[in-house]
A and B are shown apart, each in its own frame.
Chain A
Amino acid sequence: MKPIKRSAVCADNSFTTQSRSRAALRMLLFFVALMALLALSMLLGPSGIGIPDMESPSGSAILSLRFSRLLMGMMTGAALSASGVVFQALLRNPLAEPYVLGVSGGAGLGATLTILAGTGVLASFSLPVVAFLSAVVTLMMVYGIASQGTSGQPSVYSLILSGVIVSSICSSIIMFLVSTASVEGMHNVIWWMLGSLQPVSAGQQLLSAALLFGALAGIWLLSPRLNALALGREMAHYQGLHADLVIVIGLLFATLLAAIAVSLSGMIGFVGLIVPHVMRAIFGPDHRKLVPLAALGGGVFLVVCDAVARTLLAPVEIPVGVVTALAGGPFFLIILQRRMKQAWIA
């Protein structure tokens, strides 16, 4: 074994300090940018950027409406993005996200049934719960199908394949339900499916917020273990983790997050896929940092997209999912081109 060169170690340490301060600066810039973007979204209206007249009742109403949409966006975006982080880590696959695995589709089916079945206070409470339960059932189905003929662990490819299949079955059933529904039910479901950050009832918001914080905290607790699982289930086992238990808990939390997002805002695509990748490209794959940063980043990204969606063609509102894909896609490509090396090497 070679003797350690003292000088090399010193040089190495200074390198570490340098890169640490660079990382801290990057983090600071990121937070400043997030705050600025949030403020901008609050001030952006059909007539451009400006502070509405707080004295007039309409001005304060506008601000309060924008604020509640901001809350909806933060919650939905954070849920989708954190969910994507976990799916990508556990399946060790850059394509994994709630949509690909059929989880969102299952949640959507459950939500559609709830919307068509009834209205009123009960529906808004049961929406997240039913969405979560149907998402879990879907995940179990996907997992079960993918495990057929293997000794226990399904491969990532069969998981994604069966996810895509189950997902399209779910959307076919939704289409069928919509086509046979009453005009009003059809209107409700389609409007909801397009994805929108129209505030839901206060009760549902509170329930969703509580579930969201619970799931995020759970995932954050798991995050060091997600790092170990990135080297695979077998290696994580050797390093002393209950690997299978961590995987199951992680999948459940990620499914809960996806269900929260779907029940709040309908089907909004892309956020769960791209925000985790962008965050990983900027801040690296360490999940202890990545989970909170992706949640924040996903929230702000969706808020900004919503601000664009409601102002660009005002008074007509573009579905926010259209904006996330149209605006996010090119941005995603640029970031990936530049920094893929630091994000994901597949």
Chain B
Amino acid sequence: MDSMMQPDAMTFRNVSAGYKQRKVLDNVSFSVKEGEFVSLIGPNGCGKSTLLKTAAALLKPLSGKVELFGQDVQHIKPALRASLLGVVPQKIESPMAFTVDQIVMNGRISSMGRWGTPSSVDHDLVERSMIYTDVLDLRERFFTELSGGEQQRVALAMVLAQDPKIIMLDESISHLDINHRQEVLQILMNLNREKQMTILLVSHDLTLSAGISDRFLLMEAGSLVKAGTPVEVLEPEVLSRVYNCELHVQQDPYTGYLQVTGAIDSLRRRQKLNRSVHVIAGGGSGIELYRRLLIEGYDVTTGVLNRLDSDAEAARALNIPAVLEQPFSPVGSDAIAQALKMVADADAVILSQVPFGSGNLVNLTLAEAALNSGKPVFLADGIATRDYTDGKAALAFSTRLMQIGAKAWHSMSELMTQLQLKQNR
């Protein structure tokens, strides 16, 4: 399809949006051409739903503007907006026992006259939408009694009855089982092909989306980080960083379809690893590291931590051996001696983003000991911002450690890759 010649159906111009105290979208700009099939992807909480709400004028942008077919969406009359843009939410819930017929008729609500009496045009559109989504034989049933897949098709029928030019789906198909998901996607593809309907699909299934989308928009933490064809956006390095886990992208040699995989590889490795990592943490900075290292299959030890520290609690809950010091006390020499034994048994030492004060500064000697015995040591970067010791002693110490071979780490996925490299060598 030559979408380049088409006009813009939806345009975001430097849009920032969010809720009272919290900015969710940060200066997002993109446009979608009429007739395009676009998938919006990104990890949970990156602002995809907020983007849809802003596009549908449910949220007013804090700055910037959203245009539908060249008009500012904030100034389009609601009834006209509904004829331009339909939204299929994650799930619709009807507290009262409406029949499928009545639910789908809601799609015509803004076009019907004052008395809400449907015209023959309204009836035709409702009928056609129900045929299209194959829910005609459910029309007398109560919506609440239907299965999740049926409800989702009814919701789609309702939005189709609006006869919109653009349809946005907010993870509406994620929780459907595979046959219903395929069916709904097939319907969307037909609409896109036959009616030139513009489709913006929020999706978690990258593989499935890659097969049907003209273009991908990748979001991370409220910003649009990449836009382009599936091949352009689905780069393993970018995806692994954004989704914070290791992902592989393969192209099927016969169909050309892209396939994104991840979890299985890590699971397989988990059983084979026989490596141990010592983590220097504290104040909750270690929890994510513990979790991730355990998932990857490492044996984990940690310390020295103060009793009652949230990392100490986490270590206990996760069954991680830990050297503990009395609550709110400086780390003593006995504890350090025990921890040094642990470091001696470990294959690598990782320093979390733990803040340093005079009480736990001595923990850095553990890293030094590891380096001296030739073990890899990884320090979380940005230690200067977490250094509360007199005279920035921790910063000085860590600079010295870097000079004798410690590596800095920034993101979890990067750290895991480095660990793996060291291990394979």
Contacts and interface: CB of A to CB of B under 8 A. Distances in A.
Does B associate with A? yes
Interface of A: 1-2, 4, 8-9, 12, 15-16, 19, 89, 92-94, 151, 221, 223-225, 227-228, 230-232, 234-242, 280, 284-286, 288, 341-346
Given A225-B109, A344-B97, A240 B140 contact: no
B280 interface: no
A342 B144 CA distance: 10
B139 interface: yes
A86 to B, nearest CB: 13
Given A2-B134, A151-B20, A240-B81, A19 B116 contact: no
B89 to A, nearest CB: 6
Given A8-B137, A231-B106, A342-B142, A239 B95 contact: no
A19 B87 CA distance: 32
A341 B136 contact: no
Nearest to B187: A1
24 contacts: A1-B134, A1-B190, A4-B136, A8-B136, A8-B137, A16-B140, A151-B19, A224-B112, A225-B116, A230-B96, A231-B93, A234-B53, A239-B82, A239-B110, A239-B158, A240-B79, A240-B111, A241-B109, A280-B97, A285-B96, A285-B98, A285-B102, A342-B97, A345-B144
A239 B106 contact: yes
Contacts of A343: 96-97
B249 to A, nearest CB: 30
B102 A12 contact: no
A2 to B, nearest CB: 6
Interface in B116-151: 116, 131-132, 134, 136-137, 139-140, 142, 144-145
A232 to B, nearest CB: 7
A284 B106 CA distance: 16
Given A1-B183, A343-B97, 7 more contacts: A16-B139, A151-B19, A237-B78, A239-B107, A285-B98, A344-B96, A344-B97
B86 A238 contact: yes
Contacts of A238: 56, 58, 82, 85-87, 89, 159
B254 to A, nearest CB: 25
Contacts of B136: 4, 8-9, 12
B83 interface: yes
A280 B53 CA distance: 33
Contacts of A227: 98, 102, 105-106, 109, 116
A231 B144 contact: no
Contacts of B82: 238-240
A241 B98 CA distance: 19
Contact of B95 (A2, A241, A344): A344
B95 A92 contact: yes
A9 B95 CA distance: 28
A4 to B, nearest CB: 5
B182 to A, nearest CB: 11
A91 B130 CA distance: 29
A159 to B, nearest CB: 15
B78 A230 contact: no
Contacts of B86: 238
Interface in B69-99: 78-83, 85-87, 89, 92-99
B97 A228 contact: no
Given A1-B132, A288-B116, A345-B144, A239 B109 contact: yes
Nearest to A91: B95
Nearest to A286: B102
A12 B112 CA distance: 25
B219 interface: no
Contacts of A92: 95
Q: Give the dominant DSSP class at B's interface.
A: mixed
A234 B58 contact: yes
B97 A345 contact: yes
Interface string B45-67: 00000000100111000000000
B25 interface: no
Contacts of A344: 95-97
Nearest to A9: B136
B103 interface: yes
A148 B371 CA distance: 55
Contacts of B107: 239
A236 B20 CA distance: 22
Interface in B162-198: 162, 183, 186-187, 190
B114 interface: yes
The winner among B112, B137, B190 for most chain A CB atoms within 10 A is B137
The winner among B78, B99, B102, B105 for most chain A CB atoms within 10 A is B78
A202 B98 CA distance: 42
A299 to B, nearest CB: 23
Nearest to A233: B58
Contacts of A234: 53, 58, 89
Contacts of B99: 284
B103 A231 contact: yes
A240 B110 contact: yes
Contact of B186 (A1, A94, A237): A1
Contacts of A342: 97, 142
Contacts of A341: 97, 142, 145
Contacts of B94: 230-231, 345
A37 B349 CA distance: 86
A286 B98 contact: yes
A8 to B, nearest CB: 5
Contacts of A225: 109, 116
B92 A235 contact: yes
Contacts of B187: 1
A231 B186 contact: no
B116 A239 contact: no
B78 A242 contact: yes
Contact of B162 (A94, A151, A240): A240
B40 to A, nearest CB: 17
Nearest to A290: B96
A239 B115 CA distance: 17
Contacts of B106: 227-228, 231, 235, 239
B152 to A, nearest CB: 14
Contacts of B85: 238
A285 B105 CA distance: 14
A223 B106 CA distance: 12
Contacts of A235: 89, 92, 106
